[in-house]
Structure 1
Amino acid sequence: MGPDKNEKYPLNGQKRLCFLKNTITNPNIIVGDYTYYDDFEDALNFEKNVKYHYDFIGDKLIIGKFCMIAPGVTFIMNGANHQQKGVTTYPFSLFGNGWERVMPTLHDLPIKGDTVIGNDVWIGSNVTIMPGIRIGDGAIIATNSTVTKDVAPYAIIGGNPAIEIRKRFSDIKIKELLELQWWNWDIEKITESLGYLTGKKIEK
């Protein structure tokens, strides 16, 4: 009935690909079943690619089920943002020695919320995803893209900044697929339906 969703390294112990949920230690990174991360060196490198993710801010990186994340994908979190309403954006308070008196509050910072990746999303190599982005179910992000805006379900996007190239299916079919939510089926049903899920005749 398919691989064990609780297996850390599902490919015969190879450590370049992991089921990501089983390697995460940060409670503010939440990952669904069967989502995998591929890394040429070691899949345990994933959390190093989540940048500026500070506990005191509290933002979350949420990734759905059955996602595919290639090497070099970087998530920029809200801790990277500086104040923007003053004359300068320089973070004086960071260095103390009297400069801490202008320490900004979270209200002063441009916090953009959680970063949320839907289900069945394919993210190509060396993609950068900016803070607070939401990527819809079934989307594809092309290699070397920088994602600065939300991505619609089943859209293919690419570039820097990334723009929509096309939709994978018609609007009617996308609506049907979003209602279907195959990623929430029992694994037995998914296994039985692999021919339909991977076949070219989507109407079936």
Structure 2
Amino acid sequence: MPLLDASAMFPVTHPDGRVSRTTVYLKNAVSHPCMEIGDYSYYTHYGKLEETAEILAPYLFTDSRERLVIGKFVQIARGSYFITSSANHPMTGVTTYPFRIFKPETFGYKDLPVKDTVVGHDVWIGHNAAVMPGVQIGAGAIIAAASVVTRDVPAYAVVGGNPATVIRMRYPEGVIAELLDLAWWNWPIDRIEANLRALETGDIAALKIA
């Protein structure tokens, strides 16, 4: 029996048989026209299941012009969320008060620029992190707890702080290129699980011949 079931709603079962109902596979918990979510990406929160999308991205409306794109095997800890472009207020005048959102016919500030927020594969977003509009997070990155991510994050970088900055790179540049080319997250799940030890120990040589 495989460790992972892409069709599960609640993927975590404790050794005593208890199913955790605070961790959900996002692809199965969320139906939102402006969200694109890959398999096995999970989010932990205390809200109701039907509130998952709103808790994850509270300002991404069904008629928003931007998208939130989350890759495969992304791990999003409790308290973390995305502030997307639809949350922006007008900033070119003398006031930032969003007068136009109070009438349906003017709602949305269609003239404000928007940009998709994109999270690459196998990204770990720590507890209480906030990701700002239009940020692009590269595959394999780690976002430290309580970080505020205001700019793009390179693949396999560890970032933290407010605003989040690069603390270190997880691998040298050449190894990162190899890992991106390897793209293990696109393998069939049985191949992934057959090579868990190599994935968990960072045995790149073994992964190349897997």
Scaled by the length of structure 2, the TM-score of the pair is 0.87
Distance in 2 of aligned mates of 1:158 and 1:145: 5
Distance in 2 of aligned mates of 1:93 and 1:17: 37
Q: CA RMSD in A?
A: 2.1
Residues 42/169 of structure 1: CA separation in 2 closer, same or farther (3 Å cut): farther
The structure 2 residue matched to 1:110, chosen from 110, 113, 116, is 113
Residues 103/22 of structure 1: CA separation in 2 closer, same or farther (3 Å cut): closer
Shift of 1:86: 1.6
Task: State how 1:38-77 maps to structure 2 within 5 Å.
Answer: 38-40=44-46, 45-49=51-55, 50-77=57-84
Q: Given that residues 81 and 110 in structure 1 are in contact (C-alpha distance below 8 angstroms), is that contact kept between their aligned partners in structure 2?
A: no
Quick one: which amino acid aligns to residue 4 of structure 1? D
Quick one: which amino acid aligns to residue 75 of structure 2? M
Shift of 1:179: 0.4
TM-superposition CA deviations, 1:80-136 (whole Å, max 9, x none): 11222222222222345xxx99877522x132x111000000000100000111100
2:29 corresponds in structure 1 to: 23
TM-superposition CA deviations, 1:36-75 (whole Å, max 9, x none): 1122565654322212112333211110001111000111
- Gap runs ≥5 in structure 2: 14-18
- Give the % identical residues: 42
Runs of 4+ in 1 over 3 A off after TM superposition: 40-45, 100-105, 200-204
Q: Given that residues 157 and 163 in structure 1 are in contact (C-alpha distance below 8 angstroms), is that contact kept between their aligned partners in structure 2?
A: yes
Q: Given that residues 67 and 119 in structure 1 are in contact (C-alpha distance below 8 angstroms), is that contact kept between their aligned partners in structure 2?
A: yes
The structure 2 residue matched to 1:152, chosen from 151, 154, 157, is 154
Quick one: which amino acid aligns to residue 83 of structure 1? P
Is the partner of 1:46 in helix, strand or coil? Answer: helix
Residues 58/170 of structure 1: CA separation in 2 closer, same or farther (3 Å cut): same
TM-superposition CA deviations, 1:156-178 (whole Å, max 9, x none): 00000000001000000000000
Scaled by the length of structure 1, the TM-score of the pair is 0.89
Distance in 2 of aligned mates of 1:20 and 1:2: 18
Residues 161/43 of structure 1: CA separation in 2 closer, same or farther (3 Å cut): farther
Task: State how 1:180-195 maps to structure 2 within 5 Å.
Answer: 180-195=182-197
Distance in 2 of aligned mates of 1:101 and 1:66: 40
